[in-house]
């Protein structure tokens, strides 16, 4: 079975389309949240997602905020401006779709999914081995998939030596997994690891493999739409730098 693992699409339809064209066949789609926020295409992205087969999707902090379920004061001014624009732009049908998604993560087979972390599914960033260690105690499955940091990486727990490593796996290669690990597919729509290519992963639960992937997309066309919509210039610039 091939599972397409997506996260942090952030209303970037061009990046999502590039990923879908690159991914080949897949049986299920697991989406780790932040479907909207930052980018110019919230409605198109939600509609494209809704068409995908066997979609399992959870909410991220930007989705929760756009639904009006969170005080926007916690976001920086540019992110807040973009969220207000998105909240205004998203159609009722698409808002309704988001409203029905879970925000506390979910379990599929031997995988726990959370936007931020299993300990704090909406907000916590897992950026170092210390925070990863605390979170290994918060899920019971072999693997946990998270997004939120926009960094494609793996935290691996060596149970025999009780050590945690942070690994950046070579993209576009298939890696064999062994329990236990916290895996981040990276961000489809706004990568922040200085590689501007769109990031995602293919997970095979039968073979226990993980293939982190990167694919180029037409960044300039997204930057143009961000500017046309009057969204913050910073959100256009960062796409070509990958931060």
Minimum distance, C-beta of residue 45 to Zn ion, in the bound complex (Å): 13
Q: Which is nearer to Zn ion, 118 or 186 (by Cβ)? A: 186
Minimum distance, C-beta of residue 162 to Zn ion, in the bound complex (Å): 31
DSSP 3-state assignment of 243? coil
Which is nearest to 200 in space by CA: 1, 14, 32? Answer: 32
DSSP state of 92: H
- Expressed in angstroms, the distance from the first to the final Cα of the chain is 32
Gap between the Cα atoms of 119 and 111, Å rounded = 15
Q: Which is nearer to Zn ion, 34 or 211 (by Cβ)? A: 34
Q: Which is nearer to Zn ion, 32 or 177 (by Cβ)? A: 32
Minimum distance, C-beta of residue 22 to Zn ion, in the bound complex (Å): 21
Q: Which is nearer to Zn ion, 34 or 41 (by Cβ)? A: 34
Minimum distance, C-beta of residue 9 to Zn ion, in the bound complex (Å): 9
User: HSE of 133 in the Cβ direction (CA atoms, 13 Å)?
Assistant: 9
By CB atoms closer than 10 A (0-12, 13-18, 19+), residue 159 is exposed
For the record, the structure tokens of 226 come out as 């961000």
Size of the site for Zn ion (CB under 5 A): 2
Minimum distance, C-beta of residue 90 to Zn ion, in the bound complex (Å): 16
Using the contact rule CB under 5 A, the part of the chain among 28-36, 137-145, 195-203, 208-216 near Zn ion is: 28-36
Using the contact rule CB under 5 A, the part of the chain among 4-12, 24-32, 70-78, 201-209 near Zn ion is: 4-12
Gap between the Cα atoms of 183 and 110, Å rounded = 13
**Beta-strand (E) ranges in 75-161?**
106-108, 111-114, 143-146, 153-158
For the record, the structure tokens of 182 come out as 């916290």
Q: Name residues contacting Zn ion, limited to 108-167 (CB under 5 A).
A: none
Binding-site member from 4, 8, 57, 196 for Zn ion (CB under 5 A): 8
- Orientation angle between helical segments 219-228 and 233-241, nearest 10 degrees: 170
Using the contact rule CB under 5 A, the part of the chain among 29-37, 103-111, 201-209, 220-228 near Zn ion is: 29-37
Interface pattern 32-71 for Zn ion (x via CB under 5 A): --x-------------------------------------
211 binds Zn ion (CB under 5 A): no
Minimum distance, C-beta of residue 235 to Zn ion, in the bound complex (Å): 12
Q: Which is nearer to Zn ion, 1 or 74 (by Cβ)? A: 74
Phi-psi region of 54 (alpha: psi -120 to 50; beta: other; left: phi over 0): left
Q: Which is nearer to Zn ion, 8 or 211 (by Cβ)? A: 8
The residue ranges that bind Zn ion (CB under 5 A) are 8, 34
């Amino acid at each position: 079975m091939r599972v397409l693992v997506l996260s942090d699409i952030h209303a970037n339809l061009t990046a999502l389309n590039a990923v879908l064209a690159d991914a080949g066949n897949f049986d299920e789609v697991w989406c780790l949240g932040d479907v909207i926020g930052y980018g110019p295409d919230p409605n198109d992205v939600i509609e494209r997602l809704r068409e995908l087969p066997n979609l399992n999707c959870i909410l991220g902090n930007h989705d929760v905020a756009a639904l009006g379920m969170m005080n926007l004061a916690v976001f920086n001014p540019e992110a807040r401006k973009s969220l207000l624009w998105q909240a205004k732009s998203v159609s009722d049908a698409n808002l309704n779709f988001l409203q029905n998604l879970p925000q506390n993560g979910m379990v599929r087979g031997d995988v726990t999914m959370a936007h931020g972390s299993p300990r704090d599914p909406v907000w916590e960033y897992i950026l170092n081995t210390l925070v990863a260690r605390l979170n290994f105690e918060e899920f019971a499955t072999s693997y946990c998939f998270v997004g939120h940091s926009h960094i494609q990486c793996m935290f691996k727990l060596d149970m025999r030596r009780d050590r945690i490593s942070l690994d950046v796996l070579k993209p576009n290669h298939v890696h064999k997994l062994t329990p236990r690990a916290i895996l981040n597919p990276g961000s489809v729509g706004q990568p922040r690891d200085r590689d501007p290519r769109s990031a995602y992963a293919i997970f095979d639960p039968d073979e226990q493999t993980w293939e982190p992937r990167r694919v180029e997309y037409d960044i300039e066309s997204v930057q143009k739409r961000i500017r046309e919509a009057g969204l913050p210039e910073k959100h256009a610039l960062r796409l070509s730098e990958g931060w």
